[in-house]
C-alpha cells in the first residue's frame, strides 16, 4: 500500500482533469520503464513472532538501521504522539510498511529486468545486514503461515487506522488482507489510450495465470488451508466495491474516461490534509468533486487527493499513470525477478502483445471470472476449455520468452531477460506450484509443522 502521494496540491474543478491526469502517463516506447514492488514478512529469529513497530528489535529500528545505506527517513505523526519513522526514500525508490509491518520495496523505474533484479538483490542484502544484527529474518510468501490475525502488530500510520475500522463493515477478510498477506507486483507503462486498453485487457485475462504460477500461500495458523493461493482468495471477501476483474474493461468504448467513472464510484477512505488523515471512509469522491464532502465542508479535492484515492482501489490490474499487475503471491528472490520478466515479455514487445491478445481475445466474461474464482484453490490445475490453466500458462510463457528474447537486453554474461522465467517454466512443466511443493514438505520432512519454512525459505 502506498504512502501519501507527492502530487502537487492543485485543486480539481472538473472531471476532465482526472482523465487528463491518468492520460498524462502515456510515454513513447523508448521511455517505458519497469517498476517492481514486493512485500515480505518479518519474524524474530528466536520465536518466529512478527516484530512490533517499537523496541530495540522493532520495525522502526530496522528502518533507521537501513539509513546507513543512504536511505532518507520519512516521518509521520499520528494523533498527539511524536512523529515516527514509517518509510524510507532513495533514488526514486521507497521502503514502506504494510499494516502489520510487512516490509515493502517499491523500486525505481528501471530500463531492464536485469536492473530491477539487481535492485531487489541489493535491497535484500541491505535488509539482511541490518536484520541479522537485530535478530530478525524475512520471509517471502503470499500469506502469513503461522500466526493468527490477533498476533499481528499494527503500524502507527494514519491511513491504516481508518482502514482498520472500515474494512470489517464491507468484507470478512479485509483485516487479513491488511495484516497477513504479501505480494509481488510490477508496474508497466503504456504509450497512449489504445495501447493502455490492449495491455489492460491482456493482463486482466492472464492475471489468473500469474496467480497460479506464483501460488504460495497454502497455510493458515500452522495448518493447510485448502488453498494454493489463499492470498488470492482473501481478495474475494475484502471489499466488493474496490476489487475484482473489472468486466467493463472488455466492453466497447473502454478508455481513460470509463476508468475514471469507476474510480469515482469507489468509496473513499481518507483525505490527507496538513499532515493528517481525515476519515472519509465510505464517502463519495463525486460529492467531494462538488465540494459537498461533509468531513471537509466546502473543500474541493486536489490532485493529491485523486492520486491517493487511486491507490485505494484494489482490482486484479490497477490503472494509475501506468498499469499495475497485482495477481501474484510474494515469494523468494528468483520469483521477485520472474514476475516483471513475465509481464515485460508479454506487454513490452509488439509481436508478443499481439500474440497474447490473440490468445485471450475470445475469452468470455464467464470464462474470465471462472478462472479468477477457481485459481486460488486449483492453481495450474484449474479446468479451462478442453484442458487446464496449465496449458494456458505454457502458451503465455512461450509468448513472454519470445518477447524477452526479441528485446535482446543482455546482462554482463550475455544472457537475455528470458533467464528470469526459468522458475515459472519449471512450475508449469511439472504442473506443481510453490504451494504444492511446500505442502509436500509439510506432510513429509517437516512432520506437520510450518516452522521450518522460516528457516528454509527466508531471504
Rounded Cα distance, 434 and 415, in Å:
25
Name the more confident of 98 and 4. 98
Q: How many other C-beta atoms can be found within 10 angstroms of the C-beta atom of residue 248?
A: 12
Least confident of 69-78, 131-140, 172-181, 335-344: 69-78
- Percentage of the chain modeled with pLDDT above 90: 95
Q: Strand pairing of 84-90 and 183-188?
A: unpaired
Q: How far are the Cα atoms of 218, 363, 390 from residue 378, in angstroms, in the given order?
A: 11, 19, 11
Q: How many other C-beta atoms can be found within 10 angstroms of the C-beta atom of residue 250?
A: 19
Residue 324 cell numbers, joined? 499495475
Q: Strand pairing of 314-315 and 243-244?
A: parallel
CA–chain centroid gap for 129, Å, is 25
Rounded Cα distance, 13 and 291, in Å:
9
Using the predicted structure, report yes or no on whether residue 1 has a pLDDT greater than 50: no
Rounded Cα distance, 99 and 161, in Å:
9
pLDDT of 262-274, one tens digit each? 999 999 999 999 8
**pLDDT average, residue stretch 47-52:** 98
In this prediction, residue 78 carries a pLDDT of 74
pLDDT of 105-157, one tens digit each? 999 999 999 999 999 999 999 999 999 999 999 999 999 999 999 999 999 99
Question: Which neighbouring-strand residues pair with 94?
Answer: 89, 106
Torsion angle of C-alpha atoms 411, 414, 417, 418, degrees rounded to 10? -160
Torsion angle of C-alpha atoms 15, 17, 20, 22, degrees rounded to 10? -80
Q: Which of 408, 200, 221, 184 is nearest to 317 (CA)?
A: 200
pLDDT of 235-259, one tens digit each? 999 999 999 999 999 999 999 999 9
Q: Which of 447, 448, 403, 395 is nearest to 425 (CA)?
A: 395
Rounded Cα distance, 122 and 201, in Å:
34
Share the mean pLDDT of the chain. 96
Using the predicted structure, report yes or no on whether residue 8 has a pLDDT greater than 90: no
Decide: residue 188, CB within 10 A, 0-12 exposed, 13-18 middle, 19+ buried.
buried
Using the predicted structure, report yes or no on whether residue 306 has a pLDDT greater than 50: yes
Using the predicted structure, report yes or no on whether residue 80 has a pLDDT greater than 90: no
Domains and their CATH numbers in the chain = 15-266+313-456 (3.30.590.20)
Q: Which of 118, 114, 127, 119 is nearest to 40 (CA)?
A: 127
pLDDT category of residue 6 using cuts at 50, 70 and 90: low
Using the predicted structure, report yes or no on whether residue 394 has a pLDDT greater than 80: yes
Rounded Cα distance, 267 and 284, in Å:
5
Could you tell me the end-to-end alpha-carbon distance of the chain, in angstroms, rounded to an integer? 22
Residue 101 cell numbers, joined? 509491518
Q: How many other C-beta atoms can be found within 10 angstroms of the C-beta atom of residue 297?
A: 8
CA–chain centroid gap for 93, Å, is 15
In this prediction, residue 5 carries a pLDDT of 53
pLDDT of 177-207, one tens digit each? 999 999 999 999 999 999 999 999 999 999 9
Q: Which of 416, 433, 457, 425 is nearest to 117 (CA)?
A: 416
Q: Cα angle at 185 between 209 and 68, to 5 degrees?
A: 150
Amino acid at each position: 500500500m502506498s504512502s501519501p502521494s507527492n502530487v502537487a496540491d492543485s485543486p480539481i474543478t472538473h472531471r476532465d482533469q482526472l482523465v487528463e491526469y491518468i492520460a498524462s502517463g502515456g510515454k513513447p516506447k523508448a521511455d517505458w520503464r519497469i517498476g517492481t514492488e514486493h512485500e515480505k514478512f518479518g519474524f524474530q529469529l528466536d520465536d518466529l513472532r512478527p516484530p512490533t513497530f517499537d523496541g530495540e528489535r522493532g520495525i522502526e529500528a530496522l528502518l533507521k538501521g537501513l539509513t546507513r545505506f543512504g536511505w532518507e527517513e520519512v516521518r509521520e505523526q499520528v494523533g498527539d504522539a511524536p512523529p515516527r519513522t514509517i518509510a524510507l526514500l532513495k533514488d526514486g525508490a521507497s521502503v514502506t510498511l504494510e499494516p502489520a509491518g510487512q516490509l515493502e520495496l517499491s523500486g525505481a523505474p528501471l530500463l531492464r529486468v536485469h536492473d530491477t533484479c539487481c535492485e531487489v538483490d541489493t535491497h535484500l542484502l541491505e535488509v539482511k545486514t541490518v536484520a541479522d544484527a537485530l535478530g530478525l529474518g524475512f520471509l517471502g510468501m503470499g500469506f502469513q503461515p503461522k500466526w493468527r490475525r490477533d498476533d499481528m502488530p499494527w503500524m502507527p500510520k494514519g491511513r491504516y487506522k481508518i482502514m482498520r475500522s472500515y474494512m470489517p463493515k464491507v468484507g470478512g477478510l479485509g483485516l487479513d488482507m491488511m495484516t497477513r498477506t504479501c505480494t509481488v507486483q510490477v508496474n508497466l507503462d503504456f504509450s497512449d489510450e489504445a495501447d493502455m486498453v490492449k495491455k489492460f485487457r491482456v493482463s486482466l485475462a492472464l492475471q489468473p495465470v500469474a496467480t497460479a504460477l506464483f501460488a504460495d500461500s497454502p497455510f493458515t495458523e500452522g495448518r493447510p488451508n485448502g488453498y494454493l493461493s489463499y492470498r488470492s482468495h482473501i481478495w474475494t471477501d475484502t471489499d466488493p466495491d474496490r476489487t475484482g476483474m473489472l468486466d467493463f474493461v472488455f466492453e466497447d468504448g473502454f478508455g481513460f474516461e470509463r476508468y475514471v467513472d469507476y474510480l469515482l464510484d469507489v468509496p473513499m477512505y481518507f483525505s490527507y490534509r496538513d499532515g493528517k488523515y481525515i476519515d472519509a471512509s465510505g464517502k463519495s469522491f463525486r460529492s467531494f468533486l462538488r465540494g459537498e464532502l461533509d468531513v471537509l465542508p466546502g473543500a474541493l479535492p486536489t490532485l493529491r487527493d485523486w492520486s491517493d484515492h487511486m491507490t485505494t482501489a484494489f482490482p486484479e490490474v490497477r490503472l494509475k499513470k501506468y498499469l499495475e499487475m497485482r495477481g501474484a503471491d510474494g515469494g523468494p528472490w528468483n520469483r521477485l525477478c520472474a514476475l516483471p520478466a513475465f509481464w515485460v515479455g508479454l506487454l513490452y514487445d509488439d509481436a508478443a502483445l499481439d500474440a497474447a491478445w490473440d490468445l485471450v481475445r475470445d475469452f468470455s466474461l464467464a470464462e474470465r471470472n471462472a478462472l479468477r474464482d477457481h485459481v486460488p484453490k486449483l492453481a495450474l490445475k484449474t479446468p479451462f476449455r478442453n484442458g487446464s490453466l496449465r496449458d494456458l500458462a505454457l502458451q503465455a510463457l512461450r509468448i513472454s520468452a519470445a518477447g524477452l528474447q526479441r528485446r535482446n537486453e543482455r546482462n554482463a554474461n550475455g544472457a537475455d531477460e528470458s533467464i528470469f522465467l526459468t522458475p515459472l517454466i519449471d512450475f508449469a512443466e511439472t504442473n506443481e506450484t510453490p504451494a504444492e511443493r511446500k505442502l509436500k514438505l509439510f506432510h513429509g520432512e517437516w512432520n506437520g509443522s510450518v516452522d521450518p519454512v522460516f528457516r528454509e525459505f527466508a531471504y
